[in-house]
Amino acid sequence: MVETANNQQPQPGPPPMRPPAPPLGAAKGPIWAPAEQLLQLQFCIHSNPNWPETCLLGFQHYVVMLGTTVLIANTLVPLMGGTDGDRARVVQTLLFMSALNTLAQTLIGTRLPTVMGASFAFVLPVLAIIDDLHDEDFTSEHQRFLHTIRTIQGSLIVSSFVNIILGYSKIWGNLARFLSPVIIVPFVCVVGLGLFMRGFPVLANCVEIGLPMLILAVFVQQQLNHIHHLGHVARIIFGRFGLLLCIGIVWAFAAILTAAGAYNHVRAQTKLSCRTDRTFPISAAPWIKIPYPFQWGAPIFRASHVFGMIGAALVTSAESTGTFYAAARLSGATPPPAHVLSRSIGLQGIGMLVEGIFGAVVGTTASVENVGLLGVTLIGSRRAVQISTAFMLFFSIFGKFGAFFASIPLSIFAAMYCVLFGIVAAVGISHIQFANSNSLRNQYVLGLSLFLAISIPQYFVTNTDMNNGHGPIRTDGGWFNNIFNTIFSSPPTVAIIVGTLLDHTIDARRTVNDRGFQWWLPFQKRDGDARNAEFYSLPLNYLPSSLNEFMPRRFF
């Protein structure tokens, strides 16, 4: 036995070091790196399919946006005392203004592929105007309709300056700099989720038409499109135009049921949701009618009616901004910089001013359903949206043809919304990859913002009398009631208010990196990212230098 110098037994050494345990879940699959752009898109914002496909995509965008336009006209015009012919002309005017505003936004606004459609945010202020004029004496119901719509015109004209000032003074863009990915998640998410009442609740009014449409749309676009032995042409038809195909099939089925008398003895709501002849008779629509300024008469200005419209103007600014973020992601563009948001909101204000001049019953906002269509088709082409404006203009002028497509039952549109709104909500959730999703602080902000953005508007909508637009805030100041009832009935507006307050007051300085600002800030500056100019430069930037120097750039 060998002894040491101290005549002691040798002590055993420390156990060998074991390799550190891998992080929990590290061996269960790949860890996906954040992706600033969606690689699955087949065409991004400035790449385009061939012309026939692009035109068909433009027509599909027109059909998708038509549902909201018809629903708003059907809701408001009868309460105003209008006839079927008045409803047809209101729909034509809304389509005409949507075409002009969409073309303007895609050319000199955000430059994103977003359709500008009629906004539900204006419904409550319009209902308040209708109720305020209800007790006045008119010689006929048509006179009451004309007086009401002229009053709406005056309110739209005055409230439009709110957006013009917010946009071209750059206030809105500076406010957008306070947004972080943690705020963007609930903000964009509720742009889609906040419209849940226009989905299955409307579909359920006519289950035998709406449910087959929903099932067929999912099957054709997602299941049938991924069968491997299908040819290339079949995949294009099912993937890009599957929604249009499903609309045609179910619409024909609804027409057969209507002609067979299946809905002759049902309640009025079921008739409106199921029948193909309840929107307004095709005979009531004019063959040719071009909307023109002050077509209903000179606008009427009343201070008491303007404040509700101002609230709606603020709401549409928030809703459009959230929709722009979703559109940027689904079209392969970078998040819109602050100066782009400013000029888009300013241009939206100019559009609202023109709408007041032309006599639209509501203002416009960025259409959520059309942004969802970008995700369904995987085509974020700007040109396809611009071509859709040609269809809007055509059907707004030739009323008989427009009335034909307006006969699509509301339950078919509701089935589409279940898919399209859901995609926009999911796009909002995807922004969390740019922040620390494991931060309990971020989870608190996300959870509370998302919940309140759905819960608070639901309370306001539930406690609002849809006959007169009176909401739960009922003080002696009517202007105060109109503004805040409108603001707190909007999920995106509540989300941006609550999210911004929480994110900038709860341990904000120490958690700058966790909140994703390191990734977010370069996109908010004009030259912060090299790709910003590629996606958002105006067509004016490509003019010859001799002409370019005469173009004012202060607001662009």
At 556 the pLDDT is: 46
Q: Are 184 and 337 in contact (CB under 8 A)?
A: no
Query: What is the pLDDT at residue 10?
Result: 53
Q: How far apart, in whole angstroms, are the C-alpha atoms of residue 59 and residue 394? A: 11
Q: Residue 6 above 90 pLDDT?
A: no
Residues of the chain above pLDDT 90, percent: 65
**Predicted confidence band of residue 24 (pLDDT cuts 50, 70, 90):** low
Helices of type H across 468-529: 478-487, 491-503, 517-524
Highest mean pLDDT among 242-251, 276-285, 511-520 belongs to: 242-251
With both helix axes pointing from N to C terminus, report the angle between 51-80 and 242-259 in degrees, rounded to the nearest 10. Answer: 40
Residue 417 has pLDDT above 80, yes or no: yes
Residue 268's pLDDT is 79
**Under 8 Å between Cβ of 285 and 400:** yes
Does the pLDDT at position 27 exceed 80?
no
How far from the centroid of its chain's Cα atoms is residue 297's Cα? 31
Q: Residue 218's CB: how many other CB atoms inside 10 A?
A: 16
> Is the separation of the CB atoms in 486 and 457 below 8 Å?
no
Q: What is the pLDDT of residues 488-540, one digit of tens each?
A: 999 999 999 999 999 999 998 898 889 988 888 888 887 777 788 888 988 86
User: Which ranges of 47-111 does DSSP label H, i.e. alpha helix?
Assistant: 51-80, 84-108
Question: What tens digit of pLDDT does each residue of 306-333 get?
Answer: 988 999 999 999 999 999 999 999 999 9
Among the residue ranges 3-7, 466-470, 531-535, the one predicted with the least confidence is: 3-7
Give me the chain's average pLDDT, please: 88
What's the confidence (pLDDT) of residue 91?
A: 94
The first and second tokens of residue 133, run together, are 């004029």
How crowded is residue 379: how many other Cβ atoms within 10 Å of its Cβ? 26
pLDDT digits (tens, 9 = 90+) for 56-78: 999 999 999 999 999 999 999 99
**How far is Cα 127 from Cα 142, in angstroms, rounded to an integer?**
17
Distance CA 183, CA 501 (A): 10
548 pLDDT exceeds 50?
no
Q: Quick count: other Cβ atoms within 10 Å of Cβ 154?
A: 20
Give first-to-last CA distance, the chain, whole Å: 91
Instruction: State which amino acid sits at residue 283.
Output: S
Instruction: Give the rounded percent of residues in the chain with a pLDDT score beyond 70.
Output: 90
pTM for this structure?
Answer: 0.90
Tens of pLDDT, residue by residue over 213-243, are 999 999 998 888 777 667 777 888 888 999 9
Alpha-carbon distance of 473 to 462, in angstroms, equals 12
Instruction: Give the model's pLDDT for residue 19.
Output: 61
For the chain, which residues make up each domain, given as ranges? 51-529
